[in-house]
């Protein structure tokens, strides 16, 4: 996992970097190959902003959140990306179950008996 952390309008913090690495490792479990996670943090008028861009295995996900506490923003961003990952995984799984093994439909059976 390649992790990049950037701070805008605020000083870099080792505690935040450690917390982000810990949370990003949860996202790594959804991927088999190499992933790149980019975090950007900023202080805005509304509060602390956290942006996360995750790229890996033909997938690209993005989450952002603004709240009063940076830790809460990070947690919410991770939840958003996990939700996207679960949804994608569910779509792929359902698609494979629908089209992975072809089962004959009644129209296929009637068409094959008429030809034979």
Task: Please answer whether residues 8 and 42 qualify as being in contact, where contact means their C-beta atoms are separated by less than 8 angstroms.
Answer: yes
What is residue 116's predicted lDDT score, i.e. its pLDDT?
46
Q: Is residue 44 part of a domain?
A: yes
What is residue 100's predicted lDDT score, i.e. its pLDDT?
57
Task: Please answer whether residues 12 and 22 qualify as being in contact, where contact means their C-beta atoms are separated by less than 8 angstroms.
Answer: no
What letters, b where the CB count within 10 A reaches 16 and e where it falls short, cover 78-92?
Answer: bebbbebbeeeeeee
Confidence of residue 5 (pLDDT cuts 50, 70, 90): very high
Terminal Cα distance for the chain, rounded: 57
Mean pLDDT rounded to a whole number for the chain: 84
| Per-residue pLDDT tens over the stretch 21-75 | 999 988 888 877 888 999 999 999 989 999 999 998 788 999 999 999 999 999 9
Q: Is residue 109 part of a domain?
A: no
What is residue 105's predicted lDDT score, i.e. its pLDDT?
56
Token code pair at residue 79: 């939840």
In sequence order, what are the residues at sequence separation of 6 or more whose Cβ sits closer than 8 angstroms to the Cβ of residue 82? 26, 27, 30
Tell me what the mean pLDDT of segment 107-115 comes to: 55
Q: Is residue 68 part of a domain?
A: yes
Our count of domains for the chain comes to 1
Confidence of residue 114 (pLDDT cuts 50, 70, 90): low
Q: Which residue range forms the structural domain that includes residue 25?
A: 2-100
Q: What is the CATH number of the domain that holds 87?
A: 3.30.160.100
Which tops the pLDDT comparison, 97 or 70? 70
């Amino acid at each position: 996992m390649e992790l990049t952390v950037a701070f805008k309008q605020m000083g870099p913090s080792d505690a935040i970097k450690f917390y982000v690495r810990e949370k990003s490792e949860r996202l790594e479990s959804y991927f088999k190959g190499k992933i790149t996670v980019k975090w950007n943090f900023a202080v805005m008028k509304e509060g602390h902003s956290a942006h996360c861009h995750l790229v890996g295995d033909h997938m690209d996900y993005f989450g952002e959140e603004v709240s009063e506490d940076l830790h809460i923003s990070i947690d919410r961003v991770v939840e958003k990306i996990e939700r996207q990952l679960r949804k994608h995984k569910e779509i792929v799984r359902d698609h494979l179950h629908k089209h992975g093994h072809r089962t004959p439909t009644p129209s296929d059976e009637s068409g094959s008996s008429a030809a034979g």
